């Protein structure tokens, strides 16, 4: 379950490349683009510019380089040539990248054009909740501490946490042990040890936590049709704390 230093170095290389993908997305004007347009641009950027592989492509039969989850779509949204992004939307792009046999996983919820204050608040709180979870990571802490930190911040701000989906270990495989729940009780769950690598990826809903899967077999949506947001990073437990392997340039001061 723990990774050797040389493995973490390779994971960090994949993570740095993935951070570059989001830096590329940050510069796009998303208004008017379809989610398939974004997928195709990301696919080409990963392959042609970064000389890496979109790890989600072909995983579990999935055909695309990213998940695009817009507004009430919680996660696993499928890019489409008919889904055009409009001012006022929020959209999460969840992207995985493999380089030299090691996979990094990260996601970011984007504000498209002029977004309502309630949508901005949900997105900002979700981002903060992810960081609350990251800041709870250190040797000797437990996974319950991570989940509790996320859930407490969400509830204090009036949001619910999706329980059906969780973070996960990652390395040569996209999904490895352990499962990283985004809710829990302090001082419970698996103890954290130096060398563990996993994702923290909370999904917060504006309304109820209940979700369902659409007929496409992938897209998970809120049952009440209200907004959902998500952020994700891949992290490693270090001797003294935590290292964010997918840290993006604009986050240098946050980590």
pLDDT reported for residue 161: 98
Token pair 């009780």 is found at 185
CB 15, CB 246: distance < 8 Å: yes
Q: Give the containing element (helix H, strand E) for 4.
A: none
Residue 216 CB-half CA count within 13 A: 14
Both tokens of residue 236? Answer: 């490693």
Which H/E stretch holds residue 29? none
3-state SS, one letter per residue, for 60-96 = HHCCCCEEEEECCEEECCCCCCCCECCCCCEEEEEEE
Place 254 in a pLDDT band, splitting at 50, 70 and 90. very low
CA separation for the pair 119, 89 (Å, rounded): 9
Residue 4 CA to residue 140 CA, distance in Å, equals: 18
Across the beta sheet with 233-237, the strand order is 176-180, 167-169, 197-200, 233-237, 242-244
Over the stretch 228-240, which tens digit does the pLDDT of each residue have? 999 999 999 999 9
Structure tokens at 76: 């696993």
**Model confidence over 15-31: pLDDT tens digits?**
999 999 999 999 999 99
pTM: 0.97
Number of C-beta neighbours around residue 143 at 10 A: 24
Mean residue pLDDT across the chain = 97
Joined tokens for residue 42: 């990301």
Question: How far apart, in whole angstroms, are the C-alpha atoms of residue 202 and residue 182?
Answer: 6
pLDDT interval class at 255 (50, 70, 90) = very low
The contacts of residue 6 (CB under 8 Å, 6+ apart) are: none
DSSP 141-174: -BHHHHHHHHHHHHHHTT-EE--S--EEE-SSSS
Do the Cβ atoms of 233 and 168 come closer than 8 Å?
Answer: no
pLDDT tens column, 111-147: 999 999 999 999 999 999 999 999 999 999 999 999 9
All residues at 6 or more sequence positions from 250 whose CB lies less than 8 Å from its CB, including other chains: 23, 26
Element (H, E) at 231: none
């Amino acid at each position: 379950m723990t990774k050797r230093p040389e493995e973490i170095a390779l994971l960090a290389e994949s993570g740095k490349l993935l951070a570059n993908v989001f830096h590329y997305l940050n510069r796009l004007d998303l208004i008017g683009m379809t989610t398939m347009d974004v997928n195709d641009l990301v696919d080409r950027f990963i392959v042609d510019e970064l000389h890496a592989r979109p790890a989600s492509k072909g995983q579990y039969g999935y055909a695309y380089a990213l998940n695009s989850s817009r507004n009430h779509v919680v996660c696993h949204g499928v890019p489409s040539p008919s889904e055009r992004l409009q001012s006022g939307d929020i959209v999460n792009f969840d992207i995985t990248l493999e380089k030299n046999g090691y996979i990094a996983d990260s996601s970011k919820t984007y504000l498209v054009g002029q977004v309502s204050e309630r949508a901005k608040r949900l997105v900002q709180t979700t981002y903060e909740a992810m960081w609350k979870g990251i800041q709870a990571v250190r040797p000797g802490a437990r996974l319950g501490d991570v989940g509790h930190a996320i859930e407490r911040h969400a509830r204090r701000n009036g949001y619910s946490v999706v329980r059906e989906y969780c973070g996960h270990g990652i390395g040569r495989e996209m999904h490895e042990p352990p499962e990283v729940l985004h809710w829990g009780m302090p001082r419970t769950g698996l103890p954290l040890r130096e060398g563990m690598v996993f994702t923290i990826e909370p999904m917060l809903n504006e309304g109820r936590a209940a979700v369902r899967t659409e007929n496409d077999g992938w897209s998970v949506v809120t049952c009440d049709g209200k907004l959902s947001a998500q952020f994700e990073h891949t992290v490693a437990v270090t001797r003294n704390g935590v290292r964010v392997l997918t840290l993006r340039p604009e986050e240098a001061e946050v980590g």
